[in-house]
Each structure stands twice: as C-alpha cells, then as structure tokens.
Amino acid sequence: MLLVLKLVASTEGNIALTKELEEAMHQVSLSFFTVAINLPGTTYNKGLKARRKLVQMLGKLVEERRASKCSRSNDILDTILKNSEDTNCVIQTDEQIIDQIIAFVLSGYETASIVLMMAVKYLHDHPLAQDELRKENLEIRKGKPENYTLNWDDYRSMSFTRSVVLEALRMTSIGLGFLRRTTVDTEIKGYVIPKGWTVFVSTVETNKDPDTYPEPLKFNPWRWLKSNLESHQYFMLFGGGARLCIGKELGILEISIFLHYLVTRYRWEEIGENKIVRFPRVEAPDGLYYRLRDC
C-alpha cells in the first residue's frame, strides 16, 4: 500500500497522511464484498464513511497540488492534473480526479499483494515448483554484480516465473467476476439473454474449468508453458475484451521481481498453522508466518 501511495501521490514525506490514507483505503476495500446495508456498525457503513474521509483528504491534496504548480512531483496525480488541463480530456473535475486516484490505489494494491501472498504459499507447498523457479532465476542472476538490478531482458526471460504468477492468480481468483451488458440478443446453449441485460461473468468458475485447465484444483505452473493459454478465448484472469485490466503487465512485473529476489536469496518454511479464508475475499485473517533462511 505504501509503495502504491508513493507512486500515485508521493505521500512518503507525510507519515501521518500516509497512515490515514492507508487505513481508509483498507476499510473501503473491506466493504466491497459485504451486503449493502447502510446501518451503523456494519462493514458497508464503515466503508462509506472511509470513502467520504478519502474524498476529503484527497480533495485537499489535489487543491494543494494545483496551487503549487512549480513543485510538481512527477507522480500519477501530476499526470492526471496535467491531462485535466486539456479541454479534450475526459477527466477534468476534482471529483473525477479523486475517483481515479482511489481506483488506482485500490486496484494496484489489493490484487498484487494477495496474489503475491498466495504465490509464496503455493511455492512453499510445492517444492518442485519452487526449485524450478529458483533454477531459472539463479541463471538470470549469474554473472551480475552483488548490488544488481533486473533489466527488461531479464524480465522477458522469466518464462517459468511468469507461469508461477499466472497459476497463482488462477488458483487464487481474487475477483469474484465482472459485469458486462449485452449489446444484442445473445443465445447461449438454448437460453436467450436479451439486449441490454447485465451479465455477471464468474471468473471463479472459468478459472477452475477443467476443459480449459485440466486438474483445475492442482497448482501446476507448467501448464502455462505447454500450451498458449494466455491467448485462449477463455483466459479471463485480467478480465477481457476492450476492458482488459490495464495493470496486467505491471502486476505480473511487480510479483516477478519480488519472487526473483526471494528465491535467489532465501528458502522459507511455514510456522504454525496459517489459515487462509477464500470467501468473500481471499485473505489470511491472522497473517502468514514463515521462517527465512539463506540459500
């Protein structure tokens, strides 16, 4: 969350503001998967209050940034503000800008962090996959100086690493699905969906479809190397169509870099009995605990 807030609004210099934004964002994310009953004390009610607080804090941040044009931070907020000055830009009002910031932070934090957590868990439970991942990344590290950084060619060569990320995302199924509206009458297996109806696509189901993913409950990163699943018409890990997630490659990149440095430096073993909850959202309510040791 701290990294996302830094990239979006350069908040790292204001610890108090960062903490408030982080707490409010977290509360809003919790309200996504609750019954929309706006009564005092409910998670939904707390989420609405947190969003109003977010709008207030971010509104003040936008005002301050507009007033200090000579001291821009070159972050995502700056980019949005600069584009909003263009009369042809869709996002122009402060309300639209704040909505965009909230969307960036929530989508950039929750999804990547949960998939990363589950990838570490799956790799711990599947030593052969962890060994294969380590082998690939040690080969990439070979010949590099001690304090090296990865480059684009390194990332492009991480075929098995990418497979691990995609398989962790498929198994985790962070989002329950997405909504689409039919533009014409559509017939599916004898059923007609009238034009204009809203359809809920359950990615939890498509990600576990045995016709597309044999042995769907098995963590098997190798499946992504054997067939061109990413271009399959039923590949919906990042949505689909014109509204495909714009953060797809960024998310894969973030997790791949973390996994690279993790497996090339450490091995890990689970401490205690860590509990994973999968509904209504994937989380480890008591945390996941591991003991790290050098490779």
d(CA 107, CA 244): 13
Query: 109-118: buried (b, 16+ CB within 10 Å) or exposed (e) per residue?
Result: bbbbbbbbbb
- Whose tokens are 């409910």? That residue is 42
d(CA 15, CA 150): 30
Of 173, 213, 211, 180, the closest CA to residue 195 belongs to 180
Helical segments of 2-93, H only: 2-9, 15-30, 43-67, 76-84
**Bridge pairing between strands 191-193 and 186-188:** antiparallel
- Whose tokens are 């359809």? That residue is 199
Provide the 3-class DSSP secondary structure of residue 115.
helix
Query: Please, which residues have CB within 8 angstroms of residue 56's CB and are 6 or more apart in sequence?
Result: none
- Does the annotation list 89 as a binding residue? no
Residues across the chain: 295
Instruction: Give yes or no for a contact between 165 and 252, defined as CB atoms under 8 angstroms apart.
Output: yes
Count the Cβ atoms, other than its own, within 10 Å of residue 11.
24
d(CA 62, CA 291): 42
d(CA 255, CA 133): 13
Tokens of 134: 């380590």
Write out the binding residues for heme. Answer: 245
Write out the binding residues. Answer: 245
